[in-house]
Structure 1
Amino acid sequence: MAREPHQDTSGSDGASASFGFRTVPLGDKQEMVDTVFHRVASRYDLMNDLMSAGMHRLWKDAMVSWLSPPHAGKRPWAVLDVAGGTGDIATRIVERSQGHAQAIVCDINNSMLTVGRDRAAKAKLSNAIRFAQGNAEDLPFPDARFDAYTIAFGIRNVPRIERALAEAHRVLKTGGRFLCLEFSAVDVPGLDRFYDAYSFNAIPALGKMVTGDADSYQYLVESIRKFPTQERFAQMIRTAGFSRVSYRNLSGGIAAIHSGWKL
């Protein structure tokens, strides 16, 4: 699958960022991304089911399995799930840990957080999962606060990925784990062409049918193509200060889980 060159958006005034296939002023991207997720929040997980034929659930389960949250310990195990507004990953972690994990879901988009709070309350998990509005590039938490940092299908929407990775490193304790689940570069011949055709034709049409909004899903498809390849993203994680960086491809590289440790 052809990839656009990754843009370095960590510069100063006049810097730009990609918004799908468009280049926009860096300062404008976050508001544009927020608008997308305000539009799709109420149907976000439903659309994930439809777009991936339910595969996103297996990918998220694989991520939590690799994280392997502990079931016991002298103190609760603290995890920060960033850009996880609906609480999907946090719920899995808390349940997998048999209640030992205490999760904070941090998302910049209040519409997504509202969905997550409602779901946590219905699942009687409000004591185990807290929700906080915040920016991945400037997290509202102290240094060395968390045992684990997770982010699923969110980091590609951050205007300055390098800053988000630096913040992940900052808030983790020594010995803490970074895990990122994200769409990636397909590495199976033939599958890449099918995936491109499906993504650019079926997904926006599906978004229009289910949510009345094709444009948001056109952006989401384009943002996947603009995201760095597995190896390039792994190098970005290393540059942020993480050690023992590795990744696992899922479904032929349609998605990948990246792992790193703060040592």
Structure 2
Amino acid sequence: MPEEVSYGFKKVHPSEKRRLVLGHFEAIARRYDLADALLSFGLHFLWRRRAMRRLRLHIGDRVLDLCGGTGDFAVAAAKAVGSAGMVVVCDISRAMMGAGRRKAARAGVSDRIVWIQGDAERMGFARDSFDAVIVGYGIRNFVVLEQGLREMHRVLAPGGTCMAMEFSIPSTPWVRRLYQFYSFRILPWAGALITGTAAPFHYLSESIRVFPAPEQVQNLMTANGFANTSFERLSNGLAVLYSGKKRSPNIPSSTPSQPPFRNFPVSP
């Protein structure tokens, strides 16, 4: 574990970044979905649908929605895997998952989703537990990106797919300049108007700037065990979809011999 990690433009102790990120999500959980929709101008709905199409879930799949927050991906995955499948949401914020549980109830899929409060970089799930792992806007918040990638690879079953959706910097120069103005001048003000606090949105803008470029993230995925890695820029690069597979062994994979989790705190 490094002595210092990036928290936006600052360097902090790893435990401090974890504490600050958790505090941000706990503070905005109640109005997170509204802020997400308004501040992305609705684009995040299109990006999530694109991610789910690429993930290609099947009836009966076991899916991990890592950093799952308010459960947008979890609800979509629960509908895709049917009553024979299962979706596990893992997130550090109990408040975010509380909002997600209410969303799942409204969608009628509560019985297919399990909510686990946990750290993405130190998961207690058994190896090879999930057919798919999906992360929405979460890898940017990892304390150590490589450790998070290794954990995602560990819990993914052989032949399974990992997909991460993350914010990035637009490709076109004039769009990039407009985005710079919006993210540092408009976004914190609008975020505070919606949620009551600007700090999470200042961090969001800074953390996007210091996060590795898509090519670097793809290389890190390959270096940490994933095969067939790729990335796709969405909306001129405002968001990027990263994907990778866990190599299948020479013999057919079987259902994990252990349950996917044991003795975890479940969000009430």
The TM-score normalised by the length of structure 2 is 0.89
Aligned to 1:31: 19
Aligned to 1:211: 195
AA at the equivalent of 2:226: F
AA at the equivalent of 1:35: G
AA at the equivalent of 2:228: R
SS at match of 2:191: helix
Aligned to 1:119: 103
Deviation at 1:97, TM superposition (A): 4.0
Deviation at 1:186, TM superposition (A): 1.6
Aligned to 1:88: 72
Among all aligned residue pairs of Structure 1 and Structure 2, give the percentage whose two residues are the same amino acid: 38
Does residue 57 of structure 2 align to residue 69 of structure 1? yes
Does residue 147 of structure 2 align to residue 159 of structure 1? no
Deviation at 1:100, TM superposition (A): 4.9
Q: Is the 8 A contact 1:184 1:256 kept in 2?
A: yes
The number of equivalent residue pairs is: 247
Q: Is the 8 A contact 2:128 2:155 kept in 1?
A: yes
- Alpha-carbon distance between aligned partners in 2 of 1:162 and 1:109, rounded to the nearest angstrom: 21
AA at the equivalent of 1:183: F
- Alpha-carbon distance between aligned partners in 2 of 1:106 and 1:52, rounded to the nearest angstrom: 24
What CA RMSD, in Å, does the superposition of the two structures yield over aligned residues?
1.2
* 1:203-242 correspondence to structure 2 within 5 Å: 203-242=187-226
Alignment equivalent of 2:32, drawn from 21, 24, 44: 44
Aligned to 2:165: 181
Gaps of 5+ in 1: 1-9
SS at match of 1:127: helix
Q: Is the 8 A contact 1:94 1:100 kept in 2?
A: no
Does residue 261 of structure 2 align to residue 251 of structure 1? no
Q: Is the 8 A contact 2:79 2:109 kept in 1?
A: no
- Alpha-carbon distance between aligned partners in 2 of 1:117 and 1:98, rounded to the nearest angstrom: 18
AA at the equivalent of 1:231: E
More deviation, 182-191/36-45 = 182-191
Aligned to 2:183: 199
Deviation at 1:173, TM superposition (A): 0.8
Deviation at 1:101, TM superposition (A): 3.6
Gaps of 5+ in 2: 248-268
- Alpha-carbon distance between aligned partners in 2 of 1:96 and 1:193, rounded to the nearest angstrom: 39
Query: What are the Cα deviations for residues 43-65 of structure 1, in whole angstroms up to 9, with x where unaligned?
Result: 11110111110000100110001
- Alpha-carbon distance between aligned partners in 2 of 1:99 and 1:47, rounded to the nearest angstrom: 31
AA at the equivalent of 2:33: D
The TM-score normalised by the length of structure 1 is 0.91
AA at the equivalent of 2:167: F
Aligned to 1:146: 130
Q: Is the 8 A contact 1:93 1:101 kept in 2?
A: no
Alignment equivalent of 2:10, drawn from 1, 19, 22: 22
Deviation at 1:123, TM superposition (A): 2.1
